[in-house]
Structure 1
Amino acid sequence: MADSKYQQIKSHILQRIETGRWQEGDAVPSENQLAGEFGVSRMTARRALQELAEQGVLQRTQGAATCVAPLKSQSSMLQIRNIADEIRERERHHRAQVIELAEIQADNALAAHFALPVGSKLYSSLICHWQDDEPLQLEQRFVNPALAPDYLKQDFSALTPHEYLCTAAPLTEAEHRVEALLADPLAIQYLHLQAGMPCLRLHRTTWSRDGVVSHALLTHPGEKYQLGGHLTFVPSERINRR
């Protein structure tokens, strides 16, 4: 499946940043320049620049050139929390129980997630993350072997899949969807839940500049997990001054 034009523009910009051709603070081509180079509308070029700005890769200021954002800003905006770090920050002990590592064939749903033909090879892992003496997260993950060829060779009792993939295929994008559901057979078995108990499942798909890296289902006992975040809003008087 060919990338859309705006995705091609994003990949073009990310490739130049990752290779060091464009450094922190460097101006990137304007909407008009990108539109001409890629043969697209200015609106398409604007969408690509805006999405990279929202991810913290670029900085856009009205009336000024769009520039490569400081690296500190990029890493914080693109960061996905590692379950082992979260547990250690609570001064608790993390332990990973590796249940399964396997090579599988993509069914219709997985093939759609990875934009690959049905039956394509994927890697699969099933890992239960423990906090002290309690199971806290069941991680079922599917990985593109073309982007992480040594995935099945890793010792995931010593490092998490997240930590490995951040090195093997540095992440540029992520998509999350949260689902409330009742415990399924895997959650009952490995999270020590009773049938009918509530769970929260985070569906997470991650990309590098070369394509989809992984799709993960992260299941938590409902009573032991909560979603949260911190947003900073710009006061209206600051907006009016621009």
Structure 2
Amino acid sequence: MEGILLTVKVPQVETSNEPNEPTLGNEFEIHSFTPNVLLENSNFVITGKNLLLLSPKTLWGEVGDKYVSFISTTDQEIKGQVKVCPSPMIEVQIVSPSNRKEKRLLPCLGSFYYSFRSYFLETNQAISNFEPRALNPSLQGLVNLGEIVFGIEPQLPSGIFFDSNTGIVTGIPTTSSNQMFQSFQVTASLKSNPELKIHSEFKLIVLTSEEKNNRTCREITATSTCNGPSPHVCSNSSKCFMSKLACISDIECGL
């Protein structure tokens, strides 16, 4: 994948003896870029020379401000934050004081996702396994760094199980969630460095067969109080919806 080259030429300018002025040359230098793996919504540090010449746009082009923000900048150090990874790998050109140049590829990891964001489950019915999308570039990027382990919070409802090796959810739910969606946060972390982790989230609701039936949207004949191209109702709500989409999008209806 095409990376991002962190070096540009700037016009020759005269040096200044003022203590607060940078010592300018033909180009800035990047001596180090840490950490070695970048995460969305995390900080990084650049050290080098002539760094007051830099801006996110200098490094990332016109959309640089979308990806990165600088928290503080001096002539020798920049502290910044990655807001969004522009690609799974970022190319950094390290320029040493001896003028040696080395291109370094740094993984940049964001969130990973499950097949669906929300799951409707029925008590005493085996669920179709749901699992992280295998082709997610951030999850694959983490796997490329070493063995990973998954974690979840809070604990899943009774009868539902989470595999910490794969992140797959299986089981047969045994209790209703009382018509309420529950949110779960999943992390995937590197076993050799547990602080290096990425995140995902999904919601689920567990219904009894009666609760499921009461949430089912049904088409009705248009009336003076329920007019529309495709009016629908569900037993859980006293509302009349103009369409099936409006019905299934309601918090009390839809599956």
Compute the TM-score of the two structures, normalised by the length of structure 1: 0.21
Compute the TM-score of the two structures, normalised by the length of structure 2: 0.20
Give 1 or 2 for the bigger CA radius of gyration. Answer: 2
Structure with greater proportional helix content: 1
Structure with greater proportional strand content: 2
